[in-house]
Structure 1
Amino acid sequence: MSEIRIVRDYPHSPLKVWRALTDPALIPRWTSTGKGARAVGFRPVAGTRFQFVAKPMPGWRGIVDCEVLEVRERELLRYTWVGAEGEEPSEVRYLLEPVATGTRFTYHHTGFAGVGGFFMAKVLGAVRRKMLTTGLPALLAELDENGVSAARGGPAAGR
């Protein structure tokens, strides 16, 4: 089976990184370096079913169906990923670890089967690397330590 594993260190607190990764209002801002998916119905609560919704492309309907499997706030988020109807679910894991310089974030996506899975892992891996190298750092730079967007003058979640 193929997988995607990306590890990045960010000079920000686990609280700030967690907020950027799990606040539905912020997710499209760091994923915009990929396809800008919105997390529709997402809450970081086990059992929550949600969808990532992006612009459809030839061969893809623009929707990924997901279900939250496990949450440990500021530490771990695990969810299923089904990118096409009838596809077997794969699994995504976000792991946050405090380090002396801020937070180590590990993105791990497993369960890609067969030749098609191998190619999907390659394509998604390149997109995820861009999001985590360009998109997420840019968003984190805009947020205060509580995950509030200074540029917007209010809570990042639109509260």
Structure 2
Amino acid sequence: MSAIHIVRDYPHPPRKVWRAVTDPELIPLWTATGAGARPEGFATTVGATFTFVAKPKPGWSGVVVCEVLEVREPSLLRYSWQDESGGEVTQVAYRLEPHGSGTRFTYDHTGFTGAGGFFMAKILGVVRTKMLTKGLPAVLNDLDGQGNLRPESPLNPKRP
């Protein structure tokens, strides 16, 4: 079985990191360095079903179907992950723990099987590493003390 395991330390408190990784308006800002997925119907409630919608690519609709399996705010979020066209159901877990004056964030995506799963884990691992190394730190750096995106942030969506 293949898996993705990424650990990053951020110089921000766990509550701020939790907000960045669970606020539906902030998630697309840090996933933009990957496939740019936005959550639809996401809530940090066990049993909540939601989709991640990204830009489609050849052979992929861009939609992943998920269900929240476990929540312990602000330290754990675990959800299922399955391409909308079917296939194996995998699991994603975000673990946050205080580390020094910041937060240690552990990302695990498990349950990939067979040769196809091996290659999927490799591809997604590269994308997730970029999101957690570039995308998430940029969002965290642009949040104020209450966890809101600063008005002058270049990450703010363009308003008409």
How high is the TM-score relative to the length of structure 2? 0.93
Shift of 1:84: 4.4
Matched residue SS, 2:126:
helix
Q: Which residue of 2 aligns with 1:106?
A: 106
> Aligned pair in 2 of structure 1 residues 30, 114: CA closer, same or farther (>3 Å)?
same
Once residues 41 and 144 of structure 1 are traced to their aligned partners in structure 2, the CA distance between those partners, rounded to angstroms, is 25
Q: Which residue of 2 aligns with 1:97?
A: 97
Give the number of aligned pairs. Answer: 154
Once residues 3 and 38 of structure 1 are traced to their aligned partners in structure 2, the CA distance between those partners, rounded to angstroms, is 23
2:8 is equivalent to residue 8 of structure 1: yes
Q: Which residue of 2 aligns with 1:19?
A: 19
Q: Which residue of 1 aligns with 2:41?
A: 41
Equivalent residue runs for 1:83-94 within 5 Å:
83-94=83-94
Q: Which residue of 1 aligns with 2:129?
A: 129
State, as a whole percentage, how many aligned pairs show the same letter: 63
2:117 is equivalent to residue 117 of structure 1: yes
Matched residue SS, 2:83:
coil
Matched residue SS, 2:122:
helix
Give the aligned residue type for 2:116: G
Shift of 1:76: 0.1
Q: Deviations along 1:120-141, whole A, 9 cap, x unmatched?
A: 0000000000000000000000
Matched residue SS, 1:131:
helix
Once residues 143 and 152 of structure 2 are traced to their aligned partners in structure 1, the CA distance between those partners, rounded to angstroms, is 10
Shift of 1:93: 0.3
Once residues 145 and 14 of structure 1 are traced to their aligned partners in structure 2, the CA distance between those partners, rounded to angstroms, is 12
How high is the TM-score relative to the length of structure 1? 0.94
Once residues 59 and 84 of structure 1 are traced to their aligned partners in structure 2, the CA distance between those partners, rounded to angstroms, is 12
Shift of 1:152: 5.4
Q: Which residue of 1 aligns with 2:148?
A: 148
Give the aligned residue type for 2:105: F
Matched residue SS, 2:45:
coil
Once residues 83 and 105 of structure 2 are traced to their aligned partners in structure 1, the CA distance between those partners, rounded to angstroms, is 23
2:60 is equivalent to residue 60 of structure 1: yes
Q: Deviations along 1:39-65, whole A, 9 cap, x unmatched?
A: 000001100000000111001011000
Matched residue SS, 2:135:
helix
Matched residue SS, 1:109:
strand
Q: CA RMSD in A?
A: 1.3
